[in-house]
Amino acid sequence: MRTQVAIIGAGPAGLLLGQLLHKHGIDAVILEQRSADYVLGRIRAGVIETGTADLLEQVGCAERMRREGLVHEGIEISFGGERHAINFQRLIGRSVIVYGQTEITRDLMEARAACGATTLYEAEDVTLHDIGSAKPYVTFRKDGVEQRLDCDFIAGCDGSHGISRRSIPAGIMQLYERAYPFGWLGILVDKPPLSEELIYANHERGFALCSMRSPTRSRLYIQCTLEDRVEDWSDARFYAELRQRLDERAIAKLEEGHSIEKSIAPLRSFVAEPMRYGNLFLAGDAAHIVPPTGAKGLNLAASDVHYLSQALIRHYHEKSASGLEGYSAQALSRVWKAVRFSWWMTTQLHRFPDASAFEQKIQRTELEYLVGSDHAQRALAENYVGLPY
């Protein structure tokens, strides 16, 4: 089997890259080790930047997002028992859309099936070969049969635990990492949101976030320790803790319901650079991880895919290698800005267990400055809705 671009991973990054390449007549085969149902079962965030929404428009996968997604003109920051609105539309004239990552994946899957492009699910033992050469290839096993996929380029869109980054020889990449001393305990519940906008709460007991997936489904989070276990948190205990961290208006609107899903996610910042080795190009979580505080994970994957698709289009249509040669530096420039913003949001909103009284005062003063300054709010707004590509 032969293709121009072998894409490893059928999450949003791999699927979006496949559709962008298909639109420009570039053949790509996607290999995914899991089943399609497993991929669709992943519960992920869904705050969509302007640039990500535009890319979905380009590949014809935005119609349902535009119809069912929730447009958000800002966020609310809660601390000291009061809530403060930060209106993006007023500040910079832009907004974000809340639309679940699962739904984006579904829309991209359906578009790919409709155009007849090849996605091979349950491809086992995927191995990358000769990635430093001009003739890379991939081997895998499908339905018990060993197969080989020859290609010009490999796009590693298979996440932080995938084979792509691990296939790069030792000593090539430099890794940058910050592990945070806490996690997020989150539940999904069929109850209406507490507010029209997301509520980010800073409290002495820890951070809380009140988000949503639809007008009738909420996603709620509280900061927890790394030692906490999901089974130790009943729904009743979760709601009791959440109530202590919210302002009175939010508490009055909180409706408790049975959790559909409950999980704990540790928080970390991670960047691997460069994002290229030979003819292997990394995109999304394969190259970087950000804490969810800034809503950047999916959106960073989309910006990587934008840069990589443009580079591949230039290679095939203009016979120019400049885009591929500059891909890593271009992508990393935007990645690091998003990493900085996610780090800033995380440090300002969470309670660090070893924070001194001085550091707690600085955190509170930073929040007070933010809600009192249009300049500070404008900086937050332009980062939250997404820096330009």
Annotated active-site residue in 292, 306, 327, 350: 292
Q: 249-258: list long-range contacts, CB under 8 Å, 24+ apart.
A: 249/83, 250/78, 250/83, 250/194, 250/195, 250/199, 250/201, 250/210, 253/194, 253/195, 254/194, 255/191, 255/192, 256/189, 256/191, 257/189, 257/190, 257/191, 258/189
SS3 103: helix
The Cβ-side half-sphere exposure at 62, using a 13 Å CA radius, reads 15
Cis peptide before 291 (omega within 30 of 0): no
Q: What's the pLDDT score for residue 273?
A: 97
Active-site annotation holds for 23: no
Annotated active-site residue in 137, 180, 200, 239: 200
Active-site annotation holds for 292: yes
Q: Which residues of 25-53 are buried (b: 16+ CB within 10 A; e: fewer)?
A: ebbbbbbbbbebeebeeebebbbbbbbbb
Which tokens belong to 5?
């671009």
Active-site annotation holds for 262: no
Please, what is the angle between helix 322-349 and helix 357-372, to 10°?
A: 110
Report how far residue 325's alpha carbon sits from residue 142's, in angstroms, rounded to the nearest whole number.
33
Query: What is the sign, positive or negative, of the torsion defined by CA atoms of 203, 205, 209, 210?
Result: negative
Pairing of strands 208-214, 217-224: antiparallel
Report how far residue 154's alpha carbon sits from residue 209's, in angstroms, rounded to the nearest whole number.
38
Strand order in the sheet with 174-189: 82-87, 74-79, 198-201, 208-214, 217-224, 174-189, 259-273, 288-289
Q: What's the pLDDT score for residue 61?
A: 96
Q: What's the pLDDT score for residue 43?
A: 65
pLDDT in tens, 220-265: 999 999 999 999 999 999 999 999 999 999 999 999 999 999 999 9
CATH architecture of the domain 180-267+354-384 equals 2-Layer Sandwich (3.30)
Annotated active-site residue in 296, 306, 315, 350: 296
Residues in the chain, pLDDT under 50: none
Q: 62-71: list long-range contacts, CB under 8 Å, 24+ apart.
A: 64/103, 64/107, 65/97, 65/99, 65/103, 65/104, 65/107, 68/99, 68/103, 68/214, 69/97, 69/98, 69/99, 70/97, 70/98, 70/99, 70/212, 70/214, 70/215, 71/95, 71/96, 71/97
Report how far residue 9's alpha carbon sits from residue 248's, in angstroms, rounded to the nearest whole number.
44
Annotated active-site residue in 12, 72, 221, 239: 72
Q: What's the pLDDT score for residue 213?
A: 87
Report how far residue 104's alpha carbon sits from residue 44's, in angstroms, rounded to the nearest whole number.
11
Report how far residue 233's alpha carbon sits from residue 388's, in angstroms, rounded to the nearest whole number.
40
DSSP string for 339-355: HHHHHHHHHHHS--TT-
Q: What's the pLDDT score for residue 42?
A: 75
| Report field, pTM of the whole predicted structure over 0.85 | yes
CA angle 365, 371, 374 (to 5 degrees): 120
- Give the position of tokens 């729904």: 235
CATH of domain 5-70+98-176+268-346: 3.50.50.60
Residues of the chain with CATH 3.30.9.10: 180-267+354-384
Active-site annotation holds for 200: yes
Residues of the chain with CATH 3.50.50.60: 5-70+98-176+268-346
